[in-house]
Chains A and B, each alone.
Chain A
Amino acid sequence: MKAGDRLPPLEIPITRTLIVAGAIASRDYQDVHHDPDLARQKGSPDIFMNILTTNGLVGRYITDHFGPRAELRRVAIRLGAPNHPGDTMVLTGTVEEVDGDTATVRVVGANGLGDHVTGTVTVRVPA
């Protein structure tokens, strides 16, 4: 791995099931992540993915790519456009910096509305 390396993109269909399963798996029962009526009352057109699921998907994207020895050290993400049901999020990544066995990867997850998530992941990949 070296700076400038691009990770192959990962397409994630944003289904209602993924949003709800992710919310429950992360023990996040905020209504906007499972109840469309209450989400609409709060100004959202539909339910939307919670940040813990986004975080989990970003982590998965990195460990899928770097393989079984990869150890996540740090994941820092910022949310932008929400992930609504029916959309597709495409995760892309670029290695920004390599220090010994540790890489910093810039990750962007774009959906039909724009960038859902931008962030950096620090991952150690022991030889």
Chain B
Amino acid sequence: MSGEPEVHEEFEARLKAYEGRPAAATGVGRDPVNEPMIRHWCEAMGDTGPAYTGPDAIAPPTMLQAWTMAGLTRRPERTAAYDELLALLDGSGHHAVVATDCEQEYLRPLRPGDEITFDSVIESVSGRKTTKLGAGYFVTTRTDVRAGGELAGTHRFRILKYAPAHRSSKPAERRPRPVVNRDNAGFWEGVARHALLIQRCTACATLRFPWLPGCTSCGSPDWDTVEASGEGTVYSYVVLHHPPFPAFEPPYAVGLIELAEGVRVISNVVGVPYDEVRIGMPVRLEFRPYDDELVLPVFRGVTP
């Protein structure tokens, strides 16, 4: 929705037009006031009040609204006006709802067997309000609850229809952690200080990557390291479209990078659109933090 004030004003005028219109007409309680629902309520609330049990039991007065609730089914008594008002709010991005205020007056106790009817009116629609939850509109309805046709209580209810301020459509997923063991610990220690280390056989000077306990050329177990300059080219690559693993957002390019030193490393190619990665493209090493703990070497495409 636009943030322009004049747009809000026009929208608010449309919302205001619903004030005074019925929200529910001749609603009928799904069940008469009854002992099982009273018992469930008292158990949930931990309410052991003696007035709610026995032959002369009354329903807890605060259950007033519960007798009017539709439950899992839609309310047939809800008016087109109220549906329209909610649809208008939903359609403008204010799809979340939270109840904020409730004001009940009890005129006479409700007892098992009482048949409930109710009418509800849209009392007011607020101007646009910014709240911690997000910006939105307060809608207040007032309901008269009758038992056997006699007014038993009134109920004013305010909801906030809002656009969530910080939407997290899915919880943040963390990238999988690398397996660190005695053979490759030196490599990850290097990464932690933003150095890509390549093993070098101290017997025959052959460079090797990934890290291994012995030289693949002469078999010697002795080695030291050299730090990669960071220059390389795309030797080969794939673009992943599917499946979408948690913490990864396809499509993305994974490159087999030939470093200037001659060894090849697999990692993401970043900084260029996934469909513009090409074999032979020059890349440069960089270290990218993914969360508080994880830093990984990636390769940025160098556009000529």
Contacts and interface: CB of A to CB of B under 8 A. Distances in A.
A41 B106 contact: no
| Among B37, B43, B44, B133: residue with most chain A CB under 10 A | B44
Contacts of B101: 76-79
Given A63-B49, A64-B49, A76-B103, A55 B165 contact: no
Query: For this complex, into which size category does the number of interface residues on chain A fall?
Result: 35 or more
A68 interface: yes
Given A21-B43, A43-B165, A60-B49, A75 B104 contact: yes
B51 A52 contact: no
Interface stretch (A24-32, A93-101, A103-111): A24-32
A55 B100 CA distance: 11
A17 B145 CA distance: 29
Contacts of B37: 25
Contacts of B49: 60, 63-64, 68
A53 B44 contact: yes
B66 A78 contact: no
B228 interface: no
A68 B49 CA distance: 7
Contacts, number: 121
Interface stretch (B68-76, B85-93, B207-215): B68-76
B274 interface: no
Query: For this complex, into which size category does the number of interface residues on chain B fall?
Result: 35 or more
Interface stretch (B166-174, B187-195, B290-298): B166-174
Contacts of A6: none
A57 to B, nearest CB: 6
A26 B66 contact: yes
A40 interface: yes
B44 A55 contact: no
A41 B169 CA distance: 5
A26 B47 CA distance: 14
A28 B62 CA distance: 14
Interface in B118-170: 133-134, 164-170
Nearest to B73: A29
B66 A52 contact: yes
A28 B103 contact: no
B96 A24 contact: no
Given A26-B69, A41-B167, A43-B166, A56 B99 contact: no
A2 interface: no
Interface in B269-288: none
Given A21-B44, A40-B168, A73-B106, A27 B97 contact: no
A118 B164 CA distance: 24
A59 interface: yes
B99 A75 contact: no
Given A22-B45, A26-B66, A51 B99 contact: yes
Given A26-B65, A43-B164, A55-B62, A60 B104 contact: no
Contacts of A18: 44
B40 interface: yes
A123 B166 CA distance: 40
Contacts of B166: 43
Contact of B40 (A25, A58, A59): A25
A83 interface: no
Nearest to B109: A71
A50 interface: yes
A75 B41 contact: no
A59 B66 contact: no
A117 to B, nearest CB: 10
A24 B39 CA distance: 12
Nearest to B61: A72
Contacts of B65: 26, 52, 55
Given A74-B105, A77-B103, 11 more contacts: A12-B46, A29-B71, A41-B168, A42-B164, A59-B45, A60-B47, A60-B49, A64-B47, A68-B49, A68-B50, A72-B106
